């Protein structure tokens, strides 16, 4: 679900040079799919009405496969934007439908399973980010993007086999359940959770798209910058695994959230103050902060509602608006790079956002979870 996005950052300079696009235009390769992911999540009720979980997730994986494979043909700016949008729709379908499936199938351990699921997402990003620069130098940037059709090609038959009729009682039930209406639009806590997720995910999309170009602008080779992003995303995976192991010990999620957000803030400060001498430290701190914040934001949302389908719809609302918020961070960085020849100003904006999250998270006490009442 992430290589189609994560492979772009290390190749951004190559794509810009080959297509003649501005940095604002190439930033849309990250902005558009994240924006579409948000729109799909907001349409979660309609998607659930049209598609079962099995068919919808299968269709999403098929779209990711098609989008990556099509990059062998569509190598111009317009074609790349089209495939990015297609990949975003595919990712959006999967991310919209999977939460209720996880909540229903793994009810007693939904938090841990969801943390493992998000860790898997970050693992795919880590592999793509670390290897794309080297693959592009060996095969060319277009072929390096096409190769990321392979994970979807493997995942599609595995998903269809695991959820076939008779595979399990839960798999059969998943095709028939439909969500009831819930008025999250009128709920302040739902909007707080959306804002929290959106700004936190903005850090992820910003780093994913612009950390490698930031370091190539400072003189690094693309492969080295891609390895730094790969190291960062590997740290995200380890942080996600740690959250999956420890989250059950903290009924008050604020304890973990404060530690994670302080880690993110210090990492951004390193990137702003001394990006070259503190590059490795900044990547570790950013990876730990972002990698833990992503699953924690989703687990915190699931904490607010016990009923699986309603929890899935709340998560769709939170992810929908959140991804739309997050989608503008790479675009902002592209505009700033066109104007000021670097993206340092974007790191400062993200630092301010992380400080705001530190204040906002203090509101999320366990006693307040009942505020989601639709």
User: How far apart are alpha carbons 162 and 150 in whole angstroms?
Assistant: 19
Residue 168 — very low, low, confident or very high, per pLDDT cuts 50/70/90?
low
Residue 150 — very low, low, confident or very high, per pLDDT cuts 50/70/90?
very high
Least confident window among 31-45, 84-98, 292-306, 307-321:
307-321
CA dihedral 237, 325, 39, 368 (to 10 degrees): 80
Report the share of the chain in percent with pLDDT over 90.
44
Ramachandran region, residue 168 (left: φ > 0; alpha: ψ -120 to 50; beta: rest): beta
pLDDT given at position 166:
56
Look at the block and give the residue holding tokens 């996880």.
102
pLDDT given at position 206:
92
Q: At what angle do helices 77-105 and 279-303 cross, to 10 degrees?
A: 50
Interval 336-371: pLDDT, tens: 888 877 788 899 999 999 999 999 999 999 888 766
Q: Is 119 exposed, middle or buried (0-12, 13-18, 19+ CB in 10 A)?
A: buried
Element (H, E) at 371: none
Cβ neighbours of 365 (radius 10 Å): 11
CA-based nearest residue to 290, from 41, 121, 114, 130: 121
Contact between 65 and 106 (Cβ < 8 Å): no
Residues 6+ apart with CB under 8 A from 60: 89, 90, 91, 92, 93, 94, 97
């Amino acid at each position: 679900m992430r290589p189609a996005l994560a492979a772009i950052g290390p190749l951004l300079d190559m794509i810009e040079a080959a297509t003649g696009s501005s940095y604002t235009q190439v930033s849309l390769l990250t902005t558009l799919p994240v924006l579409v992911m948000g729109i799909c999540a907001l349409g979660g009720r309609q998607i659930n009405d049209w598609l079962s979980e099995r068919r919808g997730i299968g269709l999403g994986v098929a779209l990711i496969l098609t989008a990556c494979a099509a990059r062998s043909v569509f190598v111009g700016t317009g074609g790349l934007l089209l495939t990015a949008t297609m990949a975003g729709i595919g990712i959006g379908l999967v991310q919209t439908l999977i939460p209720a499936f996880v909540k229903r199938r793994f009810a007693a351990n939904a938090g841990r399973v969801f943390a493992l699921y998000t860790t898997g997402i970050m693992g795919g990003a880590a592999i793509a980010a670390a290897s794309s620069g080297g693959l592009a130098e060996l095969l060319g940037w277009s072929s390096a993007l096409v190769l990321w059709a392979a994970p979807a090609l493997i995942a599609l038959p595995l998903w269809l086999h695991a959820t076939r009729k008779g595979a399990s009682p839960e798999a059969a039930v998943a095709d028939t359940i439909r969500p009831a209406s819930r008025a999250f639009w009128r709920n302040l806590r739902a909007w707080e959770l959306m804002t929290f997720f959106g700004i936190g995910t903005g850090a992820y999309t910003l780093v994913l798209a612009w950390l490698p170009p930031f370091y190539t602008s400072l003189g690094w080779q693309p492969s080295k910058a891609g390895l730094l992003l790969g190291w960062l995303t590997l740290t995200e995976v380890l942080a996600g695994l740690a959250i999956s192991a420890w989250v059950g010990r903290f009924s008050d999620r604020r304890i973990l959230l404060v530690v994670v957000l302080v880690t993110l803030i210090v990492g951004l400060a390193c990137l702003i103050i001394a990006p070259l001498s503190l590059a490795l430290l900044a990547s570790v701190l950013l990876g730990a902060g972002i990698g833990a914040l992503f699953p924690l934001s989703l687990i915190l949302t699931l904490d607010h509602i016990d009923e699986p389908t309603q929890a899935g719809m709340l998560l769709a609302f939170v992810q929908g608006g959140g991804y739309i918020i997050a989608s503008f961070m790479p675009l902002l960085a592209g505009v700033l790079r066109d104007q000021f020849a670097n993206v340092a100003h974007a790191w400062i904006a993200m630092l301010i956002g992380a400080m705001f999250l530190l204040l906002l998270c203090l509101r999320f006490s366990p006693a307040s979870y009942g505020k989601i009442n639709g």
